[in-house]
């Protein structure tokens, strides 16, 4: 580990912390329907969309109505995207003349982008037209991100007042989040990326002649625009197959700083927006600090593992001073690669600037475990906040059990129904991840997809199911994902990880909203202090450990000990 | 780079039904959650 490496990491964290506070206040204003600086420009657009869609934004929805609108919209968009991917040959902006995707790959891809996963079982530059990338994928990057923030908005409002029957209007939330948060931020980041060297054009691919006399086709395209929402919406779907390791997507350490900032700033800001919306900023700061604490621990662990390198390679005479550089870009080195890997899996982003499959066993374990924890430190846009609030309810429930009092969170009693719904959401993750990985590993199709044997092969399959269920989308690589089993299986896992988690959480919000808000008393467990932060972090780690440690022991942990005894996979 | 464009077929119908139905079934799941 180097001083420069730590300075790069500290700079990013400082910039995120600095921007998250004003952004959190701004997002709270957006979700509360306040008049904002951009209202004179965007207000007429917002009202125009509502009028066009016949929506009365002032009309509130109960949790069932909110969830139904969300589901129906996403089902319609699945159909739309599937059609676009299959029929791209007949659609405009296809200078390379790409044929439509195969049906099973179109199913997997449509499910992937509707659920904010952005798992890519295809190579974009040899499969997708500019039209499909811009109007198919990029549009759904905005939509899925706005859907996640809208669900989080409904959950936040549930804690704000007592006796609420309505959680807001889904259509109004979706419109305001897109217009006032995602679009302006994406425009600013796009311009910054273009200025820093990321291409944005509709030119056909360029044919270059190499020094050796060969011919090379260099892919072009509207990269910067997709790149910005890819990070800001914690989507992760790369314009190119190598994602943010590609020099056009992420040309230098400054663009890397912009991209890593974009990945985490909205999730952290949402934690602070929560404090504003519930009328107690200390509550938002407690969630923010819990997320930050676990994130910093993960960065420490991953950077230490990658900087330590691989002792087997050192024995062969490889200079260990730069750490484990396999699968990493020289322009980023180990610190920025480890940082990116942690941030992209601590959120539901899934973009990569290095190949996670090439990380050391422990360096790869940390990103995988972060996904399996539910991506809540700070998590995906919206999904991270409502995910950690589920754990906050479980934390106060555990505290209540210990002292023998009915647990409360923000003046709302947490009773049997809420705990059941919280567990229903949380248990979806091990069911899909462990069940899916186990199913794949006992079939010839599943094991035939693996490029590596032993514990590393197990890690590859476990990571694929974790990534799909966690709506992350990054790949451990070393796995051929375009098979019938994985296209369909992972497609269903994405759906479960998104909606089978979100629906119980919205039901939980509906139940919490209807409860009266009790005033704090001498016996109320304070949920803004260090004790609560420690308890919440402990519950997250213990629950995650109990669920996934056995599988991780057989994968990356076994691989680490095998490496120490001289065996590699 | 030009590929052969397949015509839409019955497999498409199967995937359209699978994808849409599996998302819409979440509305029924919401009803179940309401009964807890």
A467-494 tens-digit pLDDT? 999 999 998 878 888 888 998 999 999 9
What is the pLDDT, as a whole number, of residue B2? 46
DSSP run (H or E) holding A432 = helix A428-441
Which chain A residues contact residue B12 at CB under 8 A?
86, 103
What is the pLDDT, as a whole number, of residue B5? 65
Q: Single out the residue of A168, A151, A179, A149 nearest to residue A46, CA to CA.
A: A179
What is the pLDDT, as a whole number, of residue A1? 83
What is the pLDDT, as a whole number, of residue B3? 52
Contact A75 B12 (CB under 8 A): no
C-beta separation of A338 from A299 below 8 A: yes
- All residue ranges of chain A with pLDDT < 70 are none
**What is the reported pTM?**
0.95
Note whether B34 contacts A: Cβ–Cβ < 8 A: yes
A198-227 tens-digit pLDDT? 999 999 999 999 999 999 999 999 999 999
**Total count of residues recorded for chain A:** 569
What is the pLDDT, as a whole number, of residue A377? 92
Question: How many CB atoms within 10 Å of residue A206?
Answer: 10
Q: How many angstroms separate the CA atoms of A325 and A307, rounded?
A: 9
Note whether B1 contacts A: Cβ–Cβ < 8 A: yes
- Phi-psi label, residue A204: left if phi above 0, alpha if psi -120 to 50, beta otherwise: beta
Q: Residue A420: which of B2, B16, B36 has the nearest Cβ?
A: B36
A310-323 tens-digit pLDDT? 888 888 888 888 89
Which chain A residues contact residue B36 at CB under 8 A?
417, 420-421, 424, 507
Handedness of CA A465, A466, A472, A478 (dihedral sign): negative
- The CA-based angle A473-A459-A103, given to 5 degrees, is 40
B2-17 tens-digit pLDDT? 455 677 788 899 999 9
Q: How many angstroms separate the CA atoms of A193 and A254, rounded?
A: 9
Q: Residue A111: which of B2, B4, B19 has the nearest Cβ?
A: B19
Which chain A residues contact residue B3 at CB under 8 A?
89, 97-99
A112-143 tens-digit pLDDT? 999 999 999 889 999 999 999 999 999 999 99
Note whether A103 contacts B: Cβ–Cβ < 8 A: yes
Cα dihedral A227, A232, A233, A237 in deg (nearest 10) = 30
ipTM: 0.89
What is the pLDDT, as a whole number, of residue B4? 58
């Amino acid at each position: 580990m180097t001083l420069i490496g730590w300075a790069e990491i500290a700079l990013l964290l400082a910039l995120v912390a600095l921007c998250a506070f004003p952004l959190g206040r701004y997002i709270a204003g957006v979700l509360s329907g306040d008049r904002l600086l951009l209202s004179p420009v965007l207000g007429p657009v917002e009202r125009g969309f509502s009028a066009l869609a016949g929506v009365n934004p002032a009309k509130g929805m109960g949790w069932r109505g909110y969830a139904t609108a969300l589901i129906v919209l996403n089902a319609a968009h699945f159909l739309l995207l599937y059609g676009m991917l299959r029929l791209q040959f007949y659609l405009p902006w296809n200078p390379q003349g790409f044929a439509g995707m195969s049906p099973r790959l179109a199913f997997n891809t449509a499910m992937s982008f509707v659920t904010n996963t952005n798992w890519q079982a295809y190579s974009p530059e040899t499969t997708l037209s500019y039209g499909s990338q811009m109007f198919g994928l990029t549009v759904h990057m905005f939509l899925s991100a706005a859907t996640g923030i809208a669900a989080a908005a409904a959950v936040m409002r549930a804690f704000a007042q007592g006796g609420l029957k309505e959680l807001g209007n889904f259509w109004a939330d979706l419109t305001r989040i897109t217009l006032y948060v995602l679009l302006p931020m994406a425009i600013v980041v796009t311009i910054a990326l273009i200025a820093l060297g990321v291409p944005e054009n509709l030119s056909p691919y360029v044919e270059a002649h190499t020094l050796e006399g060969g011919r090379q086709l260099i892919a072009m395209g509207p990269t910067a625009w997709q790149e910005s929402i890819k990070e800001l919406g914690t989507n992760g779907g790369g314009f190119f197959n190598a994602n943010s390791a590609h020099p056009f997507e992420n040309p230098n350490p400054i663009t890397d700083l912009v991209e890593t900032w974009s990945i985490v700033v909205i999730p952290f800001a949402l934690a602070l927006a929560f404090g504003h919306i519930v009328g107690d900023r200390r509550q938002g700061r407690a969630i923010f600090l819990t997320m930050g604490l676990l994130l910093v621990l993960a960065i420490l662990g991953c950077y230490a593992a990658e900087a330590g390198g691989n002792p087997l390679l050192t024995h062969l005479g490889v200079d260990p001073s730069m750490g484990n550089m396999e699968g990493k870009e020289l322009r980023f080195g180990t610190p920025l690669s480890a940082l990116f890997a942690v941030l992209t899996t601590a959120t539901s982003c899934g973009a990569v600037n290095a190949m996670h499959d090439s990380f050391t066993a422990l360096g790869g374990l940390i990103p995988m475990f972060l996904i399996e924890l539910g991506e809540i430190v700070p998590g995906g846009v919206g999904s991270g906040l409502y995910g950690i609030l589920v754990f906050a309810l479980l934390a106060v429930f555990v505290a209540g059990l210990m002292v023998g009092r009915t647990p409360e969170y923000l003046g709302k009693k947490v009773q049997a129904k809420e705990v059941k719904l919280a567990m229903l959401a949380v248990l979806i993750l091990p069911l899909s991840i462990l069940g899916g990985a186990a199913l794949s590993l006992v079939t010839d199709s599943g094991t035939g997809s693996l490029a590596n044997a032993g514990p590393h092969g197990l890690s590859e399959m476990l990571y694929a199911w974790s990534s799909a269920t966690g709506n992350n989308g990054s790949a451990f690589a070393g796995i051929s994902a375009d098979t019938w089993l994985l296209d369909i299986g992972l497609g269903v896992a994405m759906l479960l990880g998104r909606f089978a988690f979100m629906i119980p959480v919205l039901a939980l919000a509906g139940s919490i909203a209807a409860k009266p808000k009790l005033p704090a008393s001498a016996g109320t467990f304070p949920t803004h202090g260090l004790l609560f932060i420690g308890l919440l972090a402990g519950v997250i780690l213990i629950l995650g450990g109990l669920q996934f440690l056995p599988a991780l022991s057989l994968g990356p942990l076994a691989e680490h000990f095998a490496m120490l005894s001289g065996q590699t996979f | 780079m030009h590929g052969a464009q397949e015509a839409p077929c019955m497999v498409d119908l199967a995937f359209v039904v699978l994808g849409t139905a599996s998302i819409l079934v979440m509305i029924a799941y919401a009803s179940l959650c309401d009964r807890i």
